[in-house]
Amino acid sequence: MAYRAIAIDGPAASGKSTVARRLAEQLGLTMVNSGAMYRAVTWEVLRREMDPGDTPEVLKLLRQVRWGCVIRDGATIMSVDGVEPAMSELKSDAVNASVSLIARIPEVRTLLVEKQREFLELGDLVMEGRDIGTVVFPSTPFKFYITASEEVRAARRAAEGAADAVSERDKQDSERKVAPLKVADDAVVIDTSELSIEQVLEQVKSKLNELGW
Ligand code: CDP
């Protein structure tokens, strides 16, 4: 039997990670945070004090390093030559500031998209990111685009205590040539600006029901 993927895309701090995590818990599915994979590559670039804008150097690194990706406790963990960066390191201000530069490099995307697709060989899953419904799993009927107003998103990120120029990151993610952030034609769009997490989850689950999940 072929496994099924629920794709959850959207801009930074839209609430998609929380929705994806809770949904995966409630439905008993593996949760794949694809952003953490782009963040892990960025973390390694910065750890080596390389310039994230220097694409030829990043490409060299991509070939040198062993990039691992495993599922543990229902979620994916990325390793870099056997070392697993902590979530706090992946979410650091420095990584926030550079991740979009790394994510626009086509070879980085090819490597990570391949790993993301391999997860579907293991079971049904929820995957969140920017291009899951458009590029990684374009044929899945279960697609959601979770968004919120720019003000609400900036306030949510600030409340987490992170220095994160979300609108700048969104601009870079939306304007890049390869796999830009955009709404898939067949995605269900949910604006969470005035909704609680519970309300968003209810909407997602009722739509999944309708779609025959
Ligand atoms: O948590 P937040 O929404 O702020 O970001 P994230 O999902 O951790 O993604 C971090 C960055 O990775 C994004 O700003 C994109 O540049 C990149 N990304 C991507 O290009 N494609 C994905 N499928 C997921 C993330």
pLDDT by residue for the chain (213 residues), tens only, comes to 689 999 999 998 899 999 999 999 999 999 999 999 999 999 999 999 999 999 999 999 999 999 998 888 888 889 999 999 999 999 999 999 999 999 999 999 999 999 999 999 989 999 999 999 999 999 999 999 999 999 999 888 888 877 778 888 889 999 999 999 999 999 999 999 999 999 999 999 999 999 999
d(CA 42, CA 52): 7
Q: Is the CB of 100 under 6 A from ligand 1?
A: yes
Domain that holds residue 48: 5-210
How many Å lie between the centroid of ligand 1 and the Cα of residue 199? Answer: 24
If you take atom 3 of ligand 1, which residue's CA is the nearest one? 12
Residue whose CB lies within 8 A of the most ligand 1 atoms, among 14, 38, 108, 153, for a mutation test: 38
* The total number of structural domains that make up the chain: 1
Ligand 1 atom nearest to 17, measured from its CA: 1
pLDDT of residue 1: 62
Residue 163: which CATH number? 3.40.50.300
- The model carries a pTM of 0.94
152 CA from centroid of ligand 1 (Å) = 18
CB 152 within 8 A of CB 15: no
Tell me if residue 135 falls in helix, strand or coil.
helix
Does the beta carbon of 13 sit less than 6 angstroms from any atom of ligand 1? yes
Q: What angle do CA 148, 99, 168 make, to 5 degrees?
A: 45
Location of structure tokens 């543990």: 72
Answer yes or no: is the C-beta of 38 below 6 A from any ligand 1 atom.
yes
Give distance in angstroms: CA of 1 to centre of ligand 1.
30
- For residues 46 and 52, the answer to whether their CB atoms sit within 8 Å is yes
Tell me which residue has its CA closest to atom 23 in ligand 1. 129
- Does 44 contact ligand 1 (Cβ within 6 A)? no
